[in-house]
Amino acid sequence: MSSVHVLSLDELENDIVRAGVNYWRALRSGRSFPPRSLLSPRDMAGILRNIVLVRILDDGRDYEFRIVGDAHVQGYGIDFNKMRNSDIERIAPEHGAQMRALYEHVRNTGRPLAFRGWVGREVKDSLFVYHESAFLPLGEQADAVDHILVVSIYVPKAQP
């Protein structure tokens, strides 16, 4: 059976996800969350393939995938770069709704969210069996999240 466990940022185990969290923490400089303008692809070179940068549109009415690393493309079997969450909701309604709920939580609380989980055999079309992710808020204004940096790893299913 599939399972998901919410974690504190300090409970994350994967080195790539922890590197993303440590980078985000370093950019905060005492703020609740850093501005998106401080992100540097050069500084994220070791984790770029594992990130998604999500832009919040119209106060959360939709979410746009601005940067999608190839670990996510391989994990889901689709390049959703420049797509919106509403597009995902049309293609895969349940998954799109789950992603919207995660983005909404981070946008509304201004706090990071971390989790890990196993994908059970009941999910026939999944390309991965295990994942660990951190959803990290970003915002130019101290009290408003305008982007979310997602850092994830996926362990692919064994090929027959």
Q: What is the pLDDT of residues 4-63, one digit of tens each?
A: 889 999 999 999 999 999 999 999 989 999 999 999 999 999 999 999 999 999 999 999
Q: What is the CATH number of the domain that holds 113?
A: 3.30.450.20
CA distance 9 to 17: 9
Q: What is the pLDDT of residues 112-142, one digit of tens each?
A: 999 998 775 655 566 667 789 999 999 999 8
Q: What is the largest CA-CA distance in the chain?
A: 49
Which residues have C-beta within 8 Å of that of residue 81, sequence separation ≥ 6? Answer: 65, 66, 67, 68
Q: How many domains are there within the chain? A: 1
pTM, two decimals, is 0.92
Q: What is the mean pLDDT of residues 80-104?
A: 93
Domain extent, residue 124, equals: 3-156
